Amino acid sequence: MNSSDDLGLFGPGSVTWKVHEEPILFVAGLRSLYLQALHPRAMAGVAQNSNYRTDAWGRLIRTATYVGTTIYGTTAEAAAAGRRLRTLHARMRARDPITGDEFRIDDPDLLRWVHVAEVESFVSTARRAGLALTDAEVDGYYTEQRRAAALVGLDPADVPGTAAEVADYYRDIQAELRMTKEAAETALFLTAPPIPWKLSLPVRLGLHLGPPRWAYLGIAATALGLLPPWARRLYGGLGLPTTELSADLSVRALRLALAALPRRYREGPVQQAAKERAARLTAA
């Protein structure tokens, strides 16, 4: 098979492609960041090794590009993206904000936390937004995503591969999670980040909290409301909007709105290229 016919790690028959077909997953990405911030070491690793405050949108785009490549890129493209990420992480160190101990960013426990928070956010957000997924498909998604976990250096056998295993993992790790000063600051930043220049023009003209700002605040409130109950309780002291019912209604309405957009706005170039490869194989 030529590389141009390679369907990557998953393919059109996978639950992964079914889930990531949903444009609503950008809300899931934000939910994942709120969740990840509750782990003191994970938060310290980000704060001490990135410029996320001054380049928030650039970092978001790079993360989205990486995820898109692992989901829809060829096997070679996904492997290359994983190698680049592992090389980057291998050089990074940070200090525990509580003990002061130095730790590696590629510590398996941290990588596992980030992975689980991300994939659980993806599949749970898609389901709550209205995507029809059976329990077996949810388990299949977690099992498939062990391939993505291997790209960052994790042993797939050590990664939760079913909904029950994810629930057990969350139950076990909650003792390590807390609302630190860094987590609170990050949550507030995620809720009201700087808007890109073109979108912030109304603000620059003196029209404070214009449509882009209001729209983003609504999305952030939805992401917070979609968090697991135990995570919402940790964030409750900040007075941020965390209503579960309003989040469910909002994410469903937003999914319907996104579904009406033209394909070029709903699908990135990597996803479109993957579908074209799949179409060529079907025609052949």
For residue 125, is it within any domain? yes
What's the pLDDT score for residue 51? 80
For residue 122, is it within any domain? yes
For residue 12, is it within any domain? yes
Dist CA 259 CA 281 (whole Å): 26
What are the tens digits of pLDDT across the range 91-100? 999 999 889 9
Name the average pLDDT for the chain. 89
**DSSP helix/strand/coil, 32:** helix
Helix (H) or strand (E) holding 179: none
For residue 140, is it within any domain? yes
Query: Which stretch of 13-17, 60-64, 72-76, 203-207 has the lowest confidence by average pLDDT?
Result: 203-207
For residue 89, is it within any domain? yes
Dist CA 39 CA 252 (whole Å): 29
Residue 16 reports pLDDT greater than 70: yes
- The pairing of beta strand 102-104 with beta strand 93-95: antiparallel
For residue 222, is it within any domain? no
What's the pLDDT score for residue 203? 40
Dist CA 42 CA 44 (whole Å): 5
Enclosing domain of residue 121: 3-180+263-274
Domain count, the chain: 1
Cβ partners under 8 Å of residue 56, min gap 6: 189, 193, 194
For residue 95, is it within any domain? yes
What are the tens digits of pLDDT across the range 103-130? 999 999 999 999 999 999 999 999 999 9
Exposure letters 109-124 (e unless 16+ CB within 10 A, then b): ebbbbbbbbbbbbbbb
